[in-house]
Amino acid sequence: MAKFTVTLKDPDGPYEDISKAARDSLPDGLDDGEADDLTVSRADDLREFASRWLKYGEYVTIEFDTDAGTATVLEAK
């Protein structure tokens, strides 16, 4: 049948979800200052990784292929 793409924009979701993932990855026993610093550092690393697929940190494009029955997140351009 067809291939088509859909671009979605969510300015808050990726930022908040990446921040939560960074916080959730912290080891126990850190004081508040250490936890804050490590959260920021890890969130920056995660955002850099996700930038391969998230344009400007908020746009994601999905390609749908009705013949293959698949949906694929495309790399950001």
| 73 — pLDDT class (breaks 50, 70, 90) | very high
- Say how many domains are in the chain: 1
Mean pLDDT score of the chain, rounded to an integer? 96
| Structural domain for 7, as ranges | 3-74
pLDDT of residue 29: 93
H/E stretch holding 41:
helix 32-50
Which tens digit of pLDDT belongs to each residue from 31-65?
A: 999 999 999 999 999 999 999 999 999 999 999 99
Three-class HEC string of 5-39? EEEEECCCHHHHHHHHHHHHCCCCCCCHHHHHHHH
pLDDT of residue 77: 87
Q: How far apart are CA 33 and CA 38, in angstroms?
A: 9
Residue 19 pLDDT greater than 90, yes or no: yes
**Alpha-carbon distance values, 22 to 34, 36, 38, 45, 73 (Å):** 13, 10, 8, 9, 22
